[in-house]
Amino acid sequence: MSEPLFGRVAILGLGLLGASLARATRRGGLARQIAGYARSSETRARAAELGLCDVVCDTAKDAARNADLIVLCAPVGAFGALAETIAPVLKPGAIVTDVGSVKSAVVRDVGPFIPDGVHFVPGHPIAGTEQSGPDAGFAELFDGRWCILTPLGGGQGDASHIADRAEVATLAQFWRGCGSDVEFMDPHHHDLVLAITSHLPHLIAYNIVGTASDLEDVTQSDVIKYSAGGFRDFTRIAASDPTMWRDVFLNNREAVLEMLGRFTEDLSALQRAIRWGDGDALFTLFSRTRDIRRSIIDAGQDSAVPDFGRHAKPDAAGKTNTDD
């Protein structure tokens, strides 16, 4: 059996991602000891019952003390306070990273509290489900999913250089050990990409489900009873953790607003095509979007198996994996 990558890994936040990371770390034999922390005493107690970590600590400081890798798994809005809290106990040579869906704001909020000699490598595993809490975690969550690392001082064009840095290479090896494929990206570019691939779809889902619930001439029972596959998928996305997504939108507001503006313009064009009966414009758009769907399948990011109603085959843990 190979030597673990880290002596002690501290996971700060034991919800879906933190719990899954603890399980994946244990599965991969990536740490001699896993220390966990959650703000809620109920969550800490449940994490201990589940055996997620070797030790569940009452404070973030206790979890981070003597850790070789510290992973921030709380909502991104809490990262700055967490970093300030643990800064005095971070040991030289340790790596601090995170799982947040936003990167520029994490650099802004966490970076100032990282002491000299400690390596800060922001990260984002693009994986998740609409479930939350320690019971939702499963080791297979990251299998075959991308994890984007955004090391400071590196840009999109010099990924080969930043990937050679020892701490970045070690963290990339850690995520590969958790089952992920690893890519490197500039924080600003990451935020633009995720704004259109993740954040805007979630915003649209929240809005569509909210609109359906507000319609005076459609009863709630009718919306539920006659939900077509598309609406069901929107409700799945709209069931995602509200605290996490509130923080995502507030901390990636510039990129989200930019993509929302583009979306609004395109929606207006679609509205005009429908109003004026422009079937050619509709057919052209729908053909182009179908090609994009096929390219996603060809890239291995989804399956072409029909699953109307999303009856996807669960993994060994009984969970169905979906992107963040």
Domain of 91, CATH number, reads 3.40.50.720
Looking at residue 156, the DSSP 8-state letter turns out to be G
Q: Which of 16, 17, 71, 63 is nearest to 36 (CA)?
A: 63
Phi, psi for 226 (deg, rounded to 5): -110, 25
pLDDT the model gives residue 306: 57
Name the E strands within the chain.
6-12, 31-37, 55-57, 69-72, 95-98, 119-120, 123-125, 146-149, 181-184
Same structural domain, 179 and 211: no
What's the total number of domains in the chain? 2
Q: What is the arrangement of strands in the sheet containing 69-72, beginning at the earlier edge strand?
A: 55-57, 31-37, 6-12, 69-72, 95-98, 119-120
Kindly state whether residue 105 falls inside one of the protein's structural domains. Answer: yes
**What is the pLDDT, as a whole number, of residue 313?**
40
Residues 168 and 247 in one domain: no
96 shares its domain with 213: no
In this structure, the answer to whether residues 36 and 165 fall within a common structural domain is: yes
What's residue 299's pLDDT?
A: 66
140 and 317 Cβ atoms separated by less than 8 Å: yes
Question: How far is residue 120 CA from its own chain's centroid?
Answer: 18
Assess whether 92 and 206 both reside in one domain.
Answer: no
- Domain match, 219 and 114 both: no
Closest CA to 117 of 83, 94, 139: 94
pLDDT at 110: 95
Tell me the C-alpha distance between 173 and 19, whole Å. Answer: 20
The pLDDT value recorded for residue 316 is: 43
Q: Which two tokens stand for residue 57?
A: 């600590």
Amino acid at 238: A
- Together in a domain, 181 and 32: yes
Give pLDDT, residue 320.
45
Residues 6+ apart with CB under 8 A from 296: 302
CB 315 within 8 A of CB 140: yes
Domain that holds residue 177: 6-186
pLDDT value for 102: 93
The DSSP secondary-structure symbol of 198 reads I
Tell whether 145 and 219 lie within a shared domain.
Answer: no
What confidence score (pLDDT) does residue 288 get? 86
- Tell me the three state secondary structure of residue 196: helix
Cα of 187 vs its chain's centroid, Å: 14
Query: Nearest-5° angle of CA 74, CA 128, CA 50?
Result: 65
User: Is residue 313 in some structural domain?
Assistant: no
Residues 95 and 181 in one domain: yes
Helix, strand, coil abundance in the chain, percent, nearest 5: 55, 10, 35
Q: Tokens 């034991």 correspond to what residue?
A: 14
Question: So what's the pLDDT on residue 88?
Answer: 97
Q: Kindly give the parts of the chain with pLDDT less than 50.
A: 155-160, 308-321
